[in-house]
Amino acid sequence: MPEPLDSESVLAALNGCSLGKHLQIFPELDSTNDYLKYHKHADHDHGTLIVAEKQTRGRGGYGRFWDSPARLGLWFSMLFIPVSHSIDELQWRQLGPEACVKAVHEACNIVLFPKWPNDLCYENRKIGGVLTELNRNRNGIYRVIVGIGINVNQTENDFDTAITGKAASLKMIAGRDFDRQNILVHIVRDLEQVYLSFYQENGMG
């Protein structure tokens, strides 16, 4: 079994980053997005990062099941509590894909392209997905949950036969294993950059 992610190492690598300070890594969850939405302590702070080594009910677009095997990919969700509602829903849905494309290129030297509305692709195969959900918590606070799944170190045999030839991993593209923590840290840092740039473009400074 590949090595698990280590919260202390991730937090140290994110030093100086405004996102990810409130980090929880779970061996298994049904869905990281659902955890942020429905957990009894769901009034989480801005920048809360929930990571699961495995998801049993991971979701993609249109409620489709997202295969999330243990320690082979990255399955996580980031919570944003915007100070302004000036960023519209379309911009929120662009945030995750833009950050992921930038981060994977930086960390892995692989160029992905976003395919509307949820997919991250390499050529004609799906490498990952971004599920952005906007809601309000029980106190009426406006929140945005950005859920990200990236296939990192799977081989062809790790995918269900139903998606053989349709899905791939970064390892399958490059022919080598990748450091999942390094990719996670790059994505979180790039999420922060894109988020802040969206606010600057909307006159928030």
Each domain of the chain, given as residue ranges in start order, spans 7-201
Phi, psi for residue 176 in degrees, rounded to 5: -155, 160
What's the pLDDT score for residue 70?
Answer: 95
| Number of other CB atoms surrounding residue 129 within 10 Å | 26
Q: Give the model confidence (pLDDT) of 88-113 as tens digits.
A: 788 899 999 999 999 999 999 999 99
What span, in angstroms and rounded, lies between the C-alpha atoms of 114 and 9?
A: 29
Tell which CATH architecture fits domain 7-201. 2-Layer Sandwich (3.30)
For the CA atoms of 64, 68, 69, 70, what is the dihedral angle to 10 degrees?
-150
Nearest to 48 by CA among 181, 128, 144: 144
Q: Which of 32-36, 65-69, 94-98, 184-188 has the lowest mean pLDDT?
A: 65-69
38-63 per-position pLDDT tens digit: 886 667 899 999 999 999 988 776 66
Q: Report how far residue 97's alpha carbon sits from residue 183's, in angstroms, rounded to the nearest whole number.
A: 14
Q: Quick one: pLDDT band at residue 205, thresholds 50, 70, 90?
A: very low
